[in-house]
Amino acid sequence: MESPSRKLMKRMISRPTFNFRYSLLCFVAILIACVSCSDSSNSDRDHLVFRYNEHSNISSLDPAFARNPQNIWPSNQLFNGLVQLDDSLSIQPDIAKRWEINDSTYTYTFFLRDDVYFHKHDVFGSDSTRTANAYDFEYSFNRLLDPQVASPGSWVLSNVDYYRAENDTTFTIQLKQPFPAFLGLLSMRYCSVVPEEVVEHYGSDFRSHPVGTGPFQFKLWEENVKLVFRKNPLYFEKDETGASLPYLEAVAITFLPDKQSEFLQFAQGKIDFISGLDNSYKDEILTTTGELQEKYKDRVNLITTPYLNTEYLGFFMGADTPEIKSRYLRQAVNYGFDRQKMITYLRNGMGIPAEHGFIPMGLPGFDYIEGYTYKPEKARQLVKQYIQETGDTEPEIVIGTNSQYLDICEYVQRELEKIGIKVTVDVMPPSTLRQMKSSGELDVFRASWVADYPDAENYLSLLYSPNFTPNGPNYMHFYNETMDSLYLKALSVTDIEQRKLLYTQMDSLIIAEAPIVPLYYDKAIRFVNHKVTGLGINPQNFLFLKRVKKER
């Protein structure tokens, strides 16, 4: 029988437009095909390649456009910044080996390693590479703010007064005002270092010809088909024994758009892990209590951790309807459904009932207040108070959502109708939902907030009034003078224990005023082939492959 690699070679050589590009594609395809073969010599190579599927489209490999997980995950393999986060969200050195903070002047001084090299490229000349330095960070930050680049990450530097390279290994940043979460912001992929000569060489095509300093380097991208990285032999990080990272030789990413097909590929061993829980396969792989089904226990590892994502319903406080204006009715909605039952039956136990406010588990300020639990009698009493207050005997709300969360919204709909609130669920495409939510066209909407950086301020900023959309993420157009005052005060407090107290006060106020309905705090979920070790998991659900190993 003719081998898959030989068949693939014949098909590609038969193309009339065969050229260097196809030659490169042929080489990489043969590598992947060979790793996939089942004979003993090829199975010995299987541990060298980590495979995963990206069911959403990757729009760019330029870190200046790493705004969502599908772009962030591959960029994490290619780039480094000044600092990085470990799986506990503690800030660790990256290219900056240490730093100093002057609290009186809001100045951060970073001292850089001198042994970090960019991936090899002909643009660098005869040596094909060079060390990354502080001037590269200055260029990279300038580029982030360049309106012609139009990076969605420019906001990361909005509180920065200036930054500059003092010399090759010293980089200084001064803030306009105190912002205790700033180091966490610098861990974002937006703040990666890139080489000026390569970016200028490619221009906007840098998106598909990335050169960084990361553990893997770019090899091939056939958009919506295959993306391949190879090991960076010059990578600077080592493990605890002194061995160079990464352990893998390659990363191969496919682009099946259907999550059920992705799961089938995983079940057949053709990809090494899947992230998240989709309705198309949740009952196939998990019990209702969130454990692996028996037939998967010997070949799949389930890894979970609290995810910095709060799922919620938002009330648009600018709406001219009595239901939205009434705090009684907003509170009734919050008391009117059983969050624990919702998680058990609709998410197979993969979530945490949002009974402690807006701040999710895993951040300072969580679990310090009593939020909303299921109290149907109290909810009915609040509906009666609403009727007495307004004279409206048939309160009704419309919830805007997309199809992915239809089951959640229909559950809330059924439960609220039991307490006397009529609910209509309006299903729309995700892009329409985003637009209408931002423009205030939806009285009630299903939404989620995933932390950009590991500080509760990131969540509380959604209820700070100067952040009314479109100027910021306050989709609810919630205004409260006390809330705004506490928020500003928290920005000037560097001690985390003191900030916790302020965060708790703000979250308590949000619960009392009820501009939102916290549904659940999400969990990061990974189903991993049992041959894979070192993958780990973190509360931001970011993918890092530099410490991953696969058994033969």
60: confidence class by pLDDT, cuts 50, 70, 90: very high
Please indicate whether the domains covering 63-209 and 307-522 agree at the CATH topology level: no
> pTM here?
0.84
Find the largest Cα–Cα distance for the chain. 81
- The whole-angstrom separation of Cα 218 and Cα 62 is 11
The fold of the 63-209 domain, in CATH, is: Dipeptide-binding Protein; domain 1 (3.90.76)
Domain boundaries, the chain: 1-44, 63-209, 307-522
Q: Which CATH architecture has domain 307-522?
A: Roll (3.10)
Asked whether the predicted pLDDT for residue 415 surpasses 90, the reply is yes
Phi first, then psi: give them for residue 188, nearest 5 degrees. Answer: -65, 150
In DSSP notation, 81-97 reads -SEEE-TT--EEESSEE
pLDDT digits (tens, 9 = 90+) for 91-117: 999 999 999 999 889 999 999 999 999
- The whole-angstrom separation of Cα 381 and Cα 125 is 76
Asked whether the predicted pLDDT for residue 515 surpasses 80, the reply is yes
Higher pLDDT residue, 31 or 434? 434
Here the tokens at position 320 are: 């001219």
Q: DSSP 3-state assignment of 405?
A: helix
**pLDDT the model gives residue 44:** 64
- The whole-angstrom separation of Cα 264 and Cα 395 is 45
The residue among 282, 298, 393 whose CA lies nearest residue 347 is 282
Share above pLDDT 90 across residues of the chain, in percent, rounded to a whole number:
83
* Strands annotated E in 63-153: 83-85, 91-93, 96-102, 107-112
